Structure 1
Amino acid sequence: MTERSTRPADDWWRSAVVYQVYPRSFADADGDGTGDVNGIRARLPYLAQLGIDAIWISPWYPSPLLDGGYDVSDYRDINPEFGTLADADALIAEAHALGIRILIDLVPNHCSWDHPAFKAALAAGKGSPERDLFWFRDGVDGQPPTNWPAAFGGGAWQQIEDGQWYLHMFDISQPDWNWDHPKVVEEFDAILRFWFDRGIDGFRIDVADSMAKDASLPDVPLKDGRPTHDKYVGNPFYDQPGVHTIHQRWRAIADEYAGTPQGPRVFVAEAWLSPAERLAQYVRSNELHSAFNFDVLRCAWDAKELRQVIDYTTESLWAVGAPATWVLSNHDTIRHRTRYGRALQDALAEAGDVPTDLTLGLRRARAAALLELALPGGAYIYQGDELGLPEVEDLPEEVLDDPTWERSGHTVRGRDGCRVPIPWSGSEPPYGFGDGTDQPWLPQPADWAPLTAAAQESDPASHLNLYRAALKIRRAEEALGEGRLTWDDDAPAGVLSFTRDPGFRCVVNLGSSPIELPAGEILLASEPLLEGELPVDATVWLKV
């Protein structure tokens, strides 16, 4: 018997395939050009047919949307552009009826400058209890309190009219909460319970390594003449020991729900940390349940590098009893079809003039999908991954919405290219994204007609049907999901090949020529096989 087969049902998250919905860009039910909760509800049958276990919904809270909803002005409501709490309740109930669980985003490091608590802090003045909920400080000789950089460009401190500065580790519109203050701690306890009591199954924790700060406010070292944003050990605003106290408190709250019919609630951490031993500290048995593994996302399409990352990740997480959680794309990264269509050294380059072969990228994306879904643990699918969508790298400058564009002085285009609304049907924009012909909030390419869900529906070789077939097999095969893998010693150079008990083998050809197919019954292949050979940039699943 495998580990997976002996796990209780409450441990569903250890093997789950979770589909990320970016609500502005998924489906528009009211035809205003912005995706909404009722659009998600309308597409639940599509997601059920895809075969996923859960949905993670990026922030759906009231927000001025200056950072795509990660600037939250009210943690206990739904953005009116997206719907109402009643719509959210209906979505949760309808998803559960289909056997799909719901995770939502928690944004605990910062809020919006429109949040009532921050508005009160601005109005209250220096030394007030209201300002203690945030990081307000006096400057030093007319300069900011520290040299800390903001993630979206520029410095991390903003001066206000009375001369004080407030900390914003991301956009100027996102003041950081002071997690040393008990009222902040208690407020987020209440926010967790508010949503758990409404029936959500868990949270994805935004920048889960960032809430705690070194209150002595030391400067960071310089790198190439500028303050570094690297997450070195001892960084004063990332991976501080205090974050673990916060997570332990949250885990205790989630475990309070273990006796309910729905079962315990769960967390997945967004923490861009390397090496994997640092990430493993976040998923110890009394902390968060799982954490995204971003090292594979950042890894080149190279057999040696991928194997090293897979080994390092799985061994580090198994050491603390946690499963790995794999991801190829999300709302913050260049879509992997585009990444895989570039030369190795350019894979993570910003959108722009980097040469990209999207045909090659699609071929590799198909192979990578089968690799991801065969690895031990859970997996996340970003909306549109299953359609083979590429990054949109030529959005007009006037529509760019990501705060990185402004904070960088219009030198970094930001993340809008992976957030273009989903094409559902039809031959031209808006491709069924909403009712009628109104265009969505970001323009869709004119050549996306072959990529719509409807266009791929009847093609058994389509990217969509590859995902459907893979997820169907994953549910049926006892070997897949949580468990272990054994590397196959007979694999040629440039090939990843591993076996999972009982009786499953995955072979990925990242070499320069076709290879002879190992013995076994073919379950699924990302490309047509050529006279018993596995082509280059292809993956096959075998029953052995």
Structure 2
Amino acid sequence: MTGTDPQAEWWRDAVVYQVYPRSFADHDGDGVGDLPGLTARLPYIADLGVDGLWITPFQPSPHVDQGYDVSDYCGVDPLFGTLADFDDVLDAAHGLGLRVLMDIAPNHCSSEHPLFQAALAAGPGSPERDLFHFADGPDGDTPPNNWISSFGDRSWTRAHPGSDTDQQWYLHIFSSAQPDWNWRNPAVGDFFEDVIRFWFDRGVDGLRVDVAHGLFKSEGLPHAEDPAAVARGLRFNPHLTDQEELHGVYRRWRVIADGYSPARVLVGEVNLDADRAARLVRPDEMHQAFAYPFVKVPWDAATWGSAAGALTAAHAAHGAAPAWSVENHDVVRAVTRYGGGARGQARARAALLTVLALPGGAYLYQGQELGLPEVDVPVGDRVDPMWLRGGISRDGARIPLPWTTAEEGSFGFSPAGTDAPWLPTPSFWGRYSIEDQRKDRDSMLTFVTTALALRTSLVADGTLVPAGEAGFRVEDGGLLVCARGGRFLAVMAMGDQPARLPAGDLLLATAPLTGDGLLPPDAGAWLVRAP
């Protein structure tokens, strides 16, 4: 089997479960999730009916940004275990029929990475500094340009504050603990090709590429023409993302990935407009790119339909399909984002059913299958660097999973009688527990496993046709309709009144129909028409 064999393209319509290892399962009782805990709980993931899992960073790190500040790309942080523990995850997952994707962060590393420490020590003009972006400002108090980091402060930090002999600054588009690599230096590309081969050789099925639209910065690091736009975030500074040189990197990586049997998969975190994002999934570049609109857009049928249609069409033009999601570890939980309470729960369930029906793959974030809400973490317990630097906390979406209903300790996240979880679990967490929801035929967990099983059968029998064959429209009453091929329909009632369903046999709905057969507001459904 080779990388060009269509039978090997499992990822095209796969459902992948995102594991945030800190908060998934704690085996050793230190209050932090770990790889042995993940291995022990893999049967739960397999029982959901997904095709694989994506594990966010577990490599050695000072954890300024919860692991996205990597100090060793080819190791495992002792907080999570050892390389042998990761091998156990791979073996167990493969034994359960699950593929394993892991994170790689090629845009930046930790300021404690040995190569960055060597650059600090080597001084201006050295080959060591050329691996990163070191530059002189007008003076020791003024940075080289006006770029703003994603955390809201300036993108430059003095290499040696107070030094009279070294007044250079280094670039970081995230925190100052995350210096950006200089991808215009070929040595950086060589370094990362060795990294991805290391993990592919170990048996990893693919990589999720962090900030895949970043890497290269405009030649000469010029000032941004519109500082106000730059302050809105990373994607609004054209000097930081979407440079043409990106495509050469991913073409080389694709050759490496396709050289394995079975081929490995490259999935990009690409936060760009639809037409620009799709350019990174051309046939010789990455396999997939995450579709981000639904983690941001309001509850509105026209907005959803427009976003889904644009992404589907842009990807289809290159023979690709998006990877859809409504939650991840960086955004407010869908239940809370959609209004909280019963309405938030209903909308989150409908949104998940809808994205599972869209052409392409889908990604579920751990706890989404439980309908977990966002948690208001006490200020004193918040650890997110975005909170510490910019006043925005992502901690509320990262609370450890509730495995049991017991109110003592950590709801089964850690062994009884051990350390408290790294983020506090609220007293009401047990009502969302996996233990409880497994017994409840009306729970979110039961619904998700039912939907995933049905989706698998619809893919297998051809009802869910290939990715490019899809259309989107909005009908009266705010009913969003996604039609795939000539038979399958996914609908979502996004207005304030019940909506009339299109013709077809009802396969599954997130809520009972009204007495006159209408779909209630904030509900979704799948239908199939006769051939």
TM-score category by the smaller chain?
over 0.9
CA contact (8 A) 2:309 2:471 kept: no
CA distance in structure 1 between the partners assigned to 2:472 and 2:288 by the alignment = 28
> Structure 2 matches for 1:148-163, cutoff 5 A?
148-161=147-160, 162-163=166-167
CA contact (8 A) 2:465 2:485 kept: no
CA distance in structure 2 between the partners assigned to 1:197 and 1:296 by the alignment = 35
Q: Which residue, out of 254, 279, 285, partners 2:283?
A: 285
Which amino acid in the other structure matches residue 265 of structure 1? Answer: R
- Structure 1 residues 330 and 481: alpha-carbon distance in aligned structure 2, compared to 1, 3 A threshold: farther
- Percent of pairs with identical residues: 48
Residue 257 (structure 2) pairs with residue 254 (structure 1): yes
CA contact (8 A) 1:497 1:507 kept: yes
- Structure 1 residues 527 and 485: alpha-carbon distance in aligned structure 2, compared to 1, 3 A threshold: farther
Q: How far did residue 401 of structure 1 move? A: 1.0
Task: Give 2:163's aligned residue.
Answer: none
Q: How far did residue 396 of structure 1 move? A: 1.4
CA contact (8 A) 1:290 1:323 kept: yes
Q: How far did residue 543 of structure 1 move? A: 3.0
Which amino acid in the other structure matches residue 481 of structure 2? Answer: S
Which amino acid in the other structure matches residue 24 of structure 1? Answer: R
CA contact (8 A) 2:358 2:482 kept: no
Moved more, 418-427 or 67-76: 418-427
Task: Give 2:423's aligned residue.
Answer: 442
Q: How far did residue 160 of structure 1 move? A: 2.5
Q: How far did residue 529 of structure 1 move? A: 2.1
> Structure 2 matches for 1:101-500, cutoff 5 A?
101-142=99-140, 143-161=142-160, 162-224=166-228, 229=233, 231-232=235-236, 235-257=238-260, 260=261, 263-274=262-273, 276-341=274-339, 357-392=340-375, 394-408=376-390, 412-428=391-407, 429-437=409-417, 438-477=419-458, 478-480=462-464, 482-487=466-471, 491-500=475-484
Q: How far did residue 182 of structure 1 move? A: 1.8
SS in structure 2 of the partner of residue 515 of structure 1: coil
Task: Give 1:4's aligned residue.
Answer: none
CA contact (8 A) 1:377 1:481 kept: no
- Structure 1 residues 327 and 490: alpha-carbon distance in aligned structure 2, compared to 1, 3 A threshold: closer
Which whole-Å deviations, capped at 9, do the CAs of 1:147-198 have from their partners, x for residues lacking one? 1111112111111323211111101111111111122111100001000000
Which whole-Å deviations, capped at 9, do the CAs of 1:283-315 have from their partners, x for residues lacking one? 011111110010122221111111111111111
In angstroms, what is the RMSD of aligned CA positions? 1.9
CA contact (8 A) 1:220 1:228 kept: no
Which whole-Å deviations, capped at 9, do the CAs of 1:411-438 have from their partners, x for residues lacking one? x132111111111112324110010143
SS in structure 2 of the partner of residue 231 of structure 1: helix
CA distance in structure 2 between the partners assigned to 1:229 and 1:488 by the alignment = 30
Task: Give 1:523's aligned residue.
Answer: 507
Q: How far did residue 113 of structure 1 move? A: 1.0
Q: How far did residue 503 of structure 1 move? A: 3.3
Task: Give 1:11's aligned residue.
Answer: 9
CA contact (8 A) 1:375 1:481 kept: no
Q: How far did residue 510 of structure 1 move? A: 1.3
CA distance in structure 1 between the partners assigned to 2:366 and 2:443 by the alignment = 16
Which amino acid in the other structure matches residue 56 of structure 1? Answer: W
CA distance in structure 2 between the partners assigned to 1:150 and 1:165 by the alignment = 14
SS in structure 2 of the partner of residue 117 of structure 1: helix
Which amino acid in the other structure matches residue 92 of structure 1? Answer: L
Which amino acid in the other structure matches residue 79 of structure 2? Answer: E
- Structure 1 residues 324 and 33: alpha-carbon distance in aligned structure 2, compared to 1, 3 A threshold: same
Task: Give 2:488's aligned residue.
Answer: 504
| TM-score of the superposed pair, with normalisation by structure 2 | 0.93
Which amino acid in the other structure matches residue 357 of structure 2? Answer: A
SS in structure 2 of the partner of residue 533 of structure 1: coil
Task: Give 1:533's aligned residue.
Answer: 518
Which whole-Å deviations, capped at 9, do the CAs of 1:490-524 have from their partners, x for residues lacking one? 94331012333463222211122223444443321
Task: Give 2:96's aligned residue.
Answer: 98
- Structure 1 residues 488 and 33: alpha-carbon distance in aligned structure 2, compared to 1, 3 A threshold: closer
**How many equivalent residue pairs?**
514
